């Protein structure tokens, strides 16, 4: 079950699905355009998967970007509005499903690569999800996570390993 903070984040995603989709598709986010989109694509392509699950797929850009390189693509997101937008744009299969449903075996298929691209929301749900990832992977499968480095996201906190709550405060 999502924490109160995580539930608030998911509620915000429901409300902001269309503007987010527009920002991604119009390449309005400089860090994505300049660095992070290419970084995750290069990381995934270097593994040469034939199947991939994008956990927290949002509006599906990564799935569409990999259609020429990966045979079987599944995008999963807790926000039905986002998976509907992804489905409309095509490129793969998309499901609305939260981390707990995934962790409880909601996806029977196995994949060469599981990706969490800036999609890790809450401490407890992420722990449950990460523990379940081996059940989603083929033998010799890979989990690829892209997130903010603690040095960049810590601000006034000390620079140490560990979970940090995030915020979209100030994001356009």
pLDDT digits 0-9 by tens, 105-129: 999 999 999 999 999 888 888 999 9
Q: Residue 52's domain spans which residues?
A: 4-149
3-state helix, strand and coil shares in percent for the chain, rounded to the nearest 5: 45, 20, 35
Residue 72 has pLDDT above 90, yes or no: yes
Flag whether 171 is in a domain. Answer: no
pLDDT band at 31 (very low <50, low <70, confident <90, very high): confident
* pLDDT > 80? residue 36: yes
Q: For residue 65, tell me if it sits in a domain.
A: yes
pLDDT for 81 beyond 70: yes
**CATH code of the domain covering residue 54:** 3.40.50.150
Number of domains comprising the chain: 1
- Listed ranges 21-35, 89-103, 153-167; the one with the highest mean pLDDT: 89-103
Q: Classify residue 170: in a domain, yes or no.
A: no
Q: What is the pLDDT of residue 64?
A: 97
**DSSP string computed for 64-126:** HHTTTT-SEEEEEES-HHHHHHHHHH-SSEEEE--HHHHHTT-----EEEEEEES----HHHH
Where residue 70 falls among pLDDT bands split at 50, 70, 90?
very high
Q: Does residue 134 sit within a domain?
A: yes
Q: What is the CA radius of gyration of the chain?
A: 15
Distance separating alpha carbons of residues 39 and 92, to the nearest angstrom: 21
Q: Is the pLDDT of residue 162 over 90?
A: no
What residues contact residue 73 under an 8 Å CB cut-off, 6+ apart?
51, 52, 54, 63, 66, 67, 91, 92, 93
Within a domain: residue 26? Answer: yes
- Residue labelled with tokens 């996201």: 153
**What's the confidence (pLDDT) of residue 154?**
47
Higher pLDDT, 31 or 18: 18
pLDDT of residue 54: 98
């Amino acid at each position: 079950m999502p924490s109160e903070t995580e539930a608030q984040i998911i509620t915000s995603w429901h409300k902001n699905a269309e503007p987010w989709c527009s920002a991604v598709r119009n390449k309005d986010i400089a860090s994505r355009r300049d660095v992070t989109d290419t970084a995750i694509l290069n990381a995934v392509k270097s593994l040469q998967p034939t199947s991939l699950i994008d956990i927290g797929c949002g509006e599906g850009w990564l799935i569409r970007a990999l259609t020429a390189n990966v045979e079987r693509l599944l995008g999963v997101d807790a926000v039905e509005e986002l998976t509907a937008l992804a489905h409309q744009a095509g490129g793969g299969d998309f499901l609305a499903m939260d981390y707990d449903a995934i962790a409880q075996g909601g996806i029977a298929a196995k994949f060469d690569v599981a990706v969490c691209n800036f999609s890790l929301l809450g401490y407890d749900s992420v722990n449950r999800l990460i523990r379940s990832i081996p059940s989603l992977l083929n033998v010799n499968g890979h989990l690829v996570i892209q997130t903010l480095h603690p040095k960049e996201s810590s601000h006034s906190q000390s620079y140490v390993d560990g979970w940090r709550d995030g915020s979209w405060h100030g994001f356009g």
